[in-house]
Amino acid sequence: MRGSLHLAARVARRLQLSLAMRAHPVDPSQTLPTSGSQVEAKPPSQAPPGFEVWYAQALAAAAPRPDPALESGPADFGLWGASPDANGRLELDEVAGNLRATLPVFAANLGRVCRQAGVVTPPLLRLEAGSDIQPALPFDARAGMVQQLFDDSPGLARQFRRLMAGFGFVRCSDALRAYQRALARLGPSRLAAVMARQGDAHATPHLALVFDGTSAWPEEAQGERWRPLAGLEQLSRELSDASHPGQARRNEPPLPIDQVFDPIGARLRAARQR
């Protein structure tokens, strides 16, 4: 009995502390207290990795003056052209559709400025997302020229950042929905084991926009390779296969005989054919 009283007293004290530390609600009609003039929002200098970086940059960047040389797509406005519902939620399919409808517009804009600057494509450009405003092009000799294009065209740079933020948002949301599906099927402990084997990159992979001179599409890093951006169904299948690794291996097609006995030679022959 005495132990129960002590426990109840500790719980009451913690509840009092939590209520005392809770922030008071702010009337949205009132302006927040500031010291001096309002400061324009800027992206953080050391933001965490992931689509949050690009989302913050896309929202913080001031809308550029209209550029008659650039075309606009549905994802260039507001929350990627989608309107939240009564509960403040976005329809992911609508966001994804607007992003993909904007890709041909971005490809046309990028192709035009590349031709004007003498940037030759193909070979394709893989514009990787990072914490910097400029896209990264590792191991590409055209990186400096391409980054200068984005410096000279703020509208194109903003379009690129909004696309990266949008595809990152959709990719992370699809991963979350895939984990919710797997949780109902596998349970918490098995799902935790599967997620540990998959690694953090399965939920938030490194993203890039690829441009071949005429078309653009999103890709994600998978280990040392790149693949098309994965969606909800593909992520759900991968979680299911990872929960039964032996069965996944049995479902894989058999390797060619030359690849079994000479894997290095098979890789070299495949590389020569590219």
Q: Could you tell me if 47 and 53 are in contact, meaning their C-beta atoms sit under 8 angstroms apart?
A: yes
Query: Rg of the chain's alpha carbons, rounded to an integer?
Result: 24
Q: What is the chain's pLDDT, residue by residue, as a tens digit (274 residues)?
A: 444 444 444 444 444 444 343 333 333 333 333 333 333 434 444 444 445 555 555 555 555 566 777 899 999 888 898 888 888 888 889 999 999 999 999 999 999 999 999 999 989 999 998 766 678 899 999 999 999 999 999 899 999 999 999 999 999 999 999 999 888 888 888 888 888 887 777 888 999 999 999 999 999 998 889 999 999 999 999 888 887 765 544 444 554 545 444 555 555 555 444 4
| Tokens encoding 126 | 């893989």
Other C-beta atoms closer than 10 Å to the C-beta of 38 total 8
Query: If residue 7 lies in a helix (H) or strand (E), which one and from where to where?
Result: helix 2-21
pTM: 0.67
| Tokens encoding 100 | 């993909």
What single DSSP character describes residue 216?
A: E
Task: Report which of 152, 108, 146, 104 is spatially closest to residue 125, judged by C-alpha positions.
Answer: 146
